[in-house]
Amino acid sequence: MPEYETALGASSLKDITLLGRDLAEDVMGSVGFGELAFWLATQRRPTPGETRVFEAVLAALADHGFTPTAIVSRLTLLSAPDSIQGALAAGLLGGGSRFLGVTEDCGRFLHAQLPADLPTDDAGWDELALAVVTAQREAQRFVPGLGHHVHKEGDPRTPRLFQIAAEENLYGPHLQLFAAIGRVHPRILGKTLPLNGAGVCGAALADLGLPLELLRGFALLARTAGLMGQLAEELRHPVGNEIFLSVDLHNRSVAPDPYEPPAQHSSDAEGGRHG
């Protein structure tokens, strides 16, 4: 008979433990929600400074207004008002590569660039960043975390998160490299792009030592709180039906366009990803 090990929640007749602690006595009333989320994900209790940086990241990522995920949650609530869990889940499903993925991509990217021996001063970081940006450019790939479609002159979250991390002595190599990329990239790209908020959040989460495979998950946790805000507002000041009608009433019926498969050896053929 298999046994399933876990260090998370466990119950007996009289006790409930979580992460080896007594849930009622040692967690409830004394552990904040951000701290708890960090603890659950790493099985180690964060310091107050780590909690502050972590919660700053969650705040930065919680809500950005009418994003696709917010619209999706509101429309799902409109369509299935009996199922809050469905509206939340539908919203989270938009948390993929394009809108919420930058945080993870940036954290992973920066991590992959760090050498075993880290630079020890800004000049060293700039040198590393120059090599990184040059290599990406030569490979015709973007640098994750660079550029923003609205905040073209700078994303206000970025300097603030650098500052908070510095205050807590958590300005580690991922943030160092990210900052250096911000300094040097104009020399290679010929234009100045902002370091965006999603990217700096990925760098900060990586410096907190959180699992790189789960960085997107923290963005989703933050977004869950944001979607609760969206749903609460939708219940009181609904816009979902108006959004639906703005689309439905402006549909235009067109003739079918039969699909033709691409010719063999088309340029988007890339081989088996899992092959």
- The single residue among 48, 138, 150, 191 that binds a second copy, judged by CB under 8 A, is 150
Does 131 participate in binding a second copy (rule CB under 8 A)?
no
Q: Is 146 helix (H, G, I), strand (E, B) or coil?
A: strand
Q: Sort 207 into a burial class: Cβ within 10 Å, 0-12 / 13-18 / 19+.
A: buried
Q: How far is the CB of 221 from a second copy (least distance, A)?
A: 5
Residue with smaller CB distance to a second copy, 152 or 187: 152
- The single residue among 122, 123, 141, 166 that binds a second copy, judged by CB under 8 A, is 141
Does 114 participate in binding a second copy (rule CB under 8 A)?
yes
Q: How far is the CB of 33 from a second copy (least distance, A)?
A: 3
Residue with smaller CB distance to a second copy, 89 or 130: 89
Count of C-beta atoms within a 10 Å radius of residue 62 = 17
Q: How far is the CB of 252 from a second copy (least distance, A)?
A: 5
Q: Is 70 helix (H, G, I), strand (E, B) or coil?
A: helix
- The single residue among 47, 49, 78, 131 that binds a second copy, judged by CB under 8 A, is 78
Helices (H), 82-156: 84-92, 102-113, 122-138
DSSP bridge pairs for 18: 21
Does 250 participate in binding a second copy (rule CB under 8 A)?
yes
Does 138 participate in binding a second copy (rule CB under 8 A)?
no
Residue with smaller CB distance to a second copy, 126 or 222: 222
CA 58, CA 229: separation in Å to the nearest integer? 14
Q: Which of 218, 252, 238, 255 is nearest to 58 (CA)?
A: 218
- The single residue among 48, 103, 116, 183 that binds a second copy, judged by CB under 8 A, is 116
197: Cβ contacts below 8 Å, ≥ 6 apart = 60, 61, 148, 151, 155, 156, 157, 158, 161
Radius of gyration of the chain (CA): 22
Number of residues in contact with a second copy, rule: CB under 8 A? 170
Q: How far is the CB of 261 from a second copy (least distance, A)?
A: 4
Q: Any idea which residue has 């994003």 for tokens?
A: 67
CA 46, CA 33: separation in Å to the nearest integer? 12
Residue with smaller CB distance to a second copy, 61 or 126: 61
**Which 176-195 residues touch a second copy, going by CB under 8 A?**
none
CA 79, CA 29: separation in Å to the nearest integer? 38
**Which 6-65 residues touch a second copy, going by CB under 8 A?**
6-20, 22-25, 27-29, 31-34, 36-37, 40-44, 52, 54-56, 58-60, 62-65
Judged by CB under 8 A, which stretch of 94-102, 122-130, 182-190 contacts a second copy? 94-102
Q: Any idea which residue has 């502050």 for tokens?
A: 52
Q: How far is the CB of 183 from a second copy (least distance, A)?
A: 19
CA 91, CA 95: separation in Å to the nearest integer? 8
**Can you read off the two tokens belonging to residue 60?**
């930065």
Q: How far is the CB of 262 from a second copy (least distance, A)?
A: 8
